[in-house]
């Protein structure tokens, strides 16, 4: 089962918790931190597990385009054609600092500068021809990223149920990829696939805040969708067939405030 599918299950489960009437949860209990949400601002930190992905669109007819030896020095072929192109996500992690400004009883403004580490792979299946012999080969291009992120969110909070409170997030973030390959050059006939250093994302998410004796603990699932095409076109078989490459990110995080 794909991990992204599991995240949709987790999101559905969270929404069910929000919507399901629970008579036991409504019973009076001792409230922890009863005045916590009245403070004008507070701070904390987040720890999370992310999955970085791509939204990939190829150009029509890309499989019919031939590339010659000078365009593909790393393939050692007289000519080459791209047979298929897919992408593969992997897990990473995120750390950040939470700054929360209270607007009213149900609405907060949050600024959460973060550092995210992760990796994505582009998987190429290429048909090569060398001295009249055709062969299919698989090429993997690893794209490692270290994002410095500056998200700004509006947090809408539901009604508090004893020591639990659901919430929803919507916002945007600007990110800079410190590990971007955008300035790397070809070395030893190895062609790098380069990404832009900066991007802008739209974000939405949901979560639960749990009020403990000494601090507030949160569990949050968030989805980020990049607005821009981040692939640098270098005139080779790895980049020319791509019409659009946008970033996506899923984040399961834990907040301590």
CATH number, residue 98: 2.40.160.20
| Domain-located, residue 202 | yes
Tokens coding 127: 């048909």
| Domain-located, residue 150 | yes
| Domain-located, residue 24 | no
Tokens coding 201: 């994302």
- Beta-carbon neighbour count of residue 236 at 10 Å? 17
Nearest to 225 by CA among 207, 200, 197, 194: 200
Q: Cα separations (Å) of 121 from 39, 85, 144, 171?
A: 44, 11, 8, 27
Contact 151, 172 (CB under 8 A): yes
| Domain-located, residue 200 | yes
Asked if pLDDT for residue 249 goes beyond 60, the answer is yes
| Domain-located, residue 107 | yes
Quick: pLDDT tens for 68-87. Answer: 887 788 888 888 999 999 99
The pLDDT of residue 107: 96
d(CA 166, CA 157) in angstroms, rounded, equals 6
Tokens coding 188: 């030893």
| Domain-located, residue 23 | no
Domain span at 7: 3-18+30-58+90-120+143-256
Mean pLDDT, residues 102-123 taken together: 95
pTM, rounded to two decimals: 0.81
Q: Is residue 13 classed as helix, strand or coil in its secondary structure?
A: helix
Q: Report the percentage of the chain scoring pLDDT > 70.
A: 86
The pLDDT of residue 39: 92
Specify the length of the chain in residues. Answer: 257
Tokens coding 18: 């929000």
Quick: pLDDT tens for 12-50. Answer: 555 545 444 444 444 557 889 888 989 999 999 999 999
d(CA 165, CA 43) in angstroms, rounded, equals 18
The pLDDT of residue 85: 94
Nearest to 125 by CA among 63, 66, 71: 63
The pLDDT of residue 20: 45
Asked if pLDDT for residue 108 goes beyond 90, the answer is yes
Ranges assigned E (strand) in the chain: 41-58, 67-68, 79-102, 107-111, 114-130, 133-157, 164-177, 198-211, 216-226, 242-256
Tokens coding 24: 């036991």
| Domain-located, residue 84 | no
| Domain-located, residue 216 | yes
Decide: residue 133, CB within 10 A, 0-12 exposed, 13-18 middle, 19+ buried. exposed
Mean pLDDT across the chain: 86
Asked if pLDDT for residue 4 goes beyond 80, the answer is no
- In the chain, the number of structural domains is 1
């Amino acid at each position: 089962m794909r991990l992204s599918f599991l995240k949709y299950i987790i999101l559905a489960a969270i929404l069910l918790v929000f919507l399901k009437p629970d008579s036991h949860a409504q019973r009076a209990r001792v409230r922890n931190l009863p005045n916590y949400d009245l403070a004008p601002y507070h701070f904390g930190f987040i720890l999370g597990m992310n999955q970085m992905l791509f939204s990939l669109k190829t150009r029509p007819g890309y499989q019919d385009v031939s590339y010659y030896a000078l365009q593909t020095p790393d393939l050692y072929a007289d000519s080459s054609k791209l047979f298929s192109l897919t992408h593969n996500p992997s897990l990473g992690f995120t750390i950040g600092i939470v700054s929360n400004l209270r607007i009213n009883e149900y609405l907060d403004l949050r600024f959460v500068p973060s550092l995210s580490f992760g990796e994505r792979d582009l998987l190429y299946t290429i048909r090569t021809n060398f001295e009249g012999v055709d062969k299919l080969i698989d090429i993997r291009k690893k794209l490692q990223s270290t994002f410095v992120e500056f998200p700004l969110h509006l947090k809408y909070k539901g009604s508090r149920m004893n020591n639990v409170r659901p919430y929803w997030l919507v916002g945007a973030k600007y990110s800079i990829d410190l590990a971007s390959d955008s300035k790397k050059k070809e070395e030893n006939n190895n062609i790098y696939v380069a990404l832009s250093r900066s991007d802008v994302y739209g974000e939405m998410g949901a979560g639960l805040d749990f009020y403990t004796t000494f601090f507030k603990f949160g569990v949050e699932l968030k989805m980020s969708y990049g607005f821009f095409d981040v692939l640098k076109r270098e005139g080779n078989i790895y980049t020319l067939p791509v019409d659009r490459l946008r970033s996506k990110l899923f984040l399961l995080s834990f907040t301590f405030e």
